[in-house]
């Protein structure tokens, strides 16, 4: 282990920025969900890196948090994709800027 | 030294996959590149001595979530792309500076703290037996709650995804 902690944190920051930029810039609802997943994964990488470099890694707290976070991310993406499919059935499109019925 | 090279390789795979997933026009290609990024992250977890999380990442993200995304893409518009429609939202130019600003803030604060340059001291290993004991003792309430949440979320996904009966009757020939 010669890679310092900062390298992992920088990788996580870059991953978060890519996911954020993609989620803000793309029109497709599915791609926005992929961007959200990338941001969640960046947070998970931070947890694992801080766990590995912590003074008491035998407590396994960061690891446990990532396990629960992955489970919640799976639930979130299943619900999100079901919503995308339900909206597609009504509006015949998955482009986000076409979902403007509630716009004043 | 070898550790550095492995880290750089995995980081390059992850970042290239993530950028390609956000930039390509064909949604099926995007889903495959996202799966590549998730696999690179799993390799980084393995390199960080978190074997259980690494394999869970491969099973859940590369296995389940990537397939779910491909299904959603094929059920909505499929891989066919009309070249006339734009793939970015009308305000797409806002996304790039916001993302760059967030990355600059994060990297600036990481660079400003010298404590983050430290190296780990001892060898760490987190055996599955220890993780299971911890899950069954200290974290048993969160585990049950996550089980309840997953059940509720998946039932909700099924209910949302169900076709309404009246609409299917009117559509039937």
- Domain ends where: B45, B79, B113? B79
> Are residues B136 and B75 part of one domain?
no
Residue B132 belongs to what domain range?
A: 127-159
Q: Which of B49, B79, B109 is the last residue of a domain?
A: B79
Number of domains in chain B: 2
Please spell the DSSP secondary structure of B7-62, one letter per residue: HHHHHHHHHHHHHHHHH-SSHHHHHHHHHHHHHHHHHHHHHTT-HHHHHHHIIIII
Helix/strand/coil for A96: helix
Q: Are residues B73 and B139 in the same domain?
A: no
* Host H or E run for residue A41: helix A29-52
Residue B160 to residues A23, B56, B68, B163: CA-CA distances in angstroms?
A: 23, 27, 15, 8
Distances from the Cα of A34 to the Cαs of A68, B5, B94, in angstroms?
Answer: 19, 28, 18
Provide the CATH number for the domain around residue B65: 1.20.120.1200
Query: B50 and A54 in contact (C-beta within 8 Å)?
Result: no
Q: Which two tokens stand for residue A2?
A: 């010669």
CB contact under 8 A, B71 and A15: no
CATH number (domain holding residue A30) = 1.10.287.3510
Provide the domain limits for residue A85: 5-98
Q: Are B136 and B68 members of one domain?
A: no
CA distances from B62 to A71, B21, B75, B123 (A): 14, 14, 19, 28
In a domain, A65, yes or no: yes
Same domain, B73 and B2: yes
Q: Residue B102 contacts by C-beta under 8 Å, 6 or more apart in sequence?
A: A13, A16, A17, A20
Query: Is the ipTM reported for this complex over the cut 0.95?
Result: no
Per-residue pLDDT of chain B (173 residues; tens, 9 = 90+): 788 899 999 999 999 999 999 998 888 999 999 999 999 999 999 999 899 999 999 999 999 999 999 999 998 876 566 655 666 767 778 888 999 999 999 999 999 988 777 777 677 778 899 999 999 999 999 999 999 999 999 999 999 988 776 655 555 55
- A103 domain-assigned: no
CB nearest B149 (choices: A2, A75, A83) = A75
Q: Of the candidates B100, B18, B49, which has an alpha carbon nearest to the alpha carbon of residue A39?
A: B18
Report the candidate in B63, B75, B99 with the shortest Cα–Cα distance to residue B27: B75
**B119 falls within a domain:** no
Chain B contact present for A98, CB below 8 A: no
pLDDT in tens, B3-30: 889 999 999 999 999 999 999 888 899 9
For residue B168, is it within any domain? no
Query: Which residues of B fall within a CB distance of 8 Å from A8?
Result: 44, 48
> Does residue B1 sit in the same domain as residue B70?
yes
User: Does residue A104 lie in a domain region?
Assistant: no
What is the number of structural domains in chain A? 1
Instruction: Give B77's contacts (C-beta < 8 A, 6+ positions apart).
Output: A28, A88, A93, A94, B27
Span A47-68, pLDDT tens digits: 999 998 888 888 889 999 999 9
Six-digit token string for B37:
């990024």
**Best residue in A19, A29, A36, A38 for a mutation probing chain B (most B CBs within 10 Å):** A38
Give the pLDDT confidence score for residue B94 in this predicted structure. Answer: 84
């Amino acid at each position: 282990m010669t890679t310092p902690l900062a390298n992992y944190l920088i990788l996580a920051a870059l991953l978060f920025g890519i996911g954020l930029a993609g989620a803000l810039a793309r029109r497709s609802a599915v791609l926005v969900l992929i961007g959200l997943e990338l941001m969640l994964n960046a947070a998970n990488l931070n947890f694992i890196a801080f766990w590995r470099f912590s003074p008491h890694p035998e407590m396994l707290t960061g690891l446990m948090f990532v396990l629960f976070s992955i489970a919640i991310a799976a639930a979130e993406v299943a619900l999100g994709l079901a919503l995308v499919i339900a909206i597609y059935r009504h509006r015949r499109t998955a482009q986000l800027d076409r979902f403007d019925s509630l716009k004043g | 030294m070898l550790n550095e090279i492995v880290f750089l390789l995995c980081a390059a795979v992850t970042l290239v996959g993530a950028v390609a997933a956000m930039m390509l026009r064909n949604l099926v290609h995007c889903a495959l590149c996202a799966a590549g990024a998730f696999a690179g992250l799993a390799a980084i977890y393995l390199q960080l001595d978190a074997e259980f999380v690494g394999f869970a990442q491969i099973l859940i993200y590369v296995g389940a979530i990537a397939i779910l995304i491909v299904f959603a893409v094929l059920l909505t518009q499929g891989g066919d792309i009309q070249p006339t429609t734009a793939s970015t939202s009308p305000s797409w130019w806002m996304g790039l500076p916001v993302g760059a600003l967030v990355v600059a803030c994060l990297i600036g604060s990481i660079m400003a703290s010298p404590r983050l340059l430290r190296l780990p001291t001892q060898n760490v290993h987190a055996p599955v037996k220890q993780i299971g004991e911890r899950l069954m003792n200290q974290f048993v309430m969160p585990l049950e709650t996550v089980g309840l949440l997953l059940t509720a979320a998946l039932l909700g996904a099924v209910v949302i995804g169900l076709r309404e009966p009246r609409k299917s009757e009117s559509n039937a020939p």
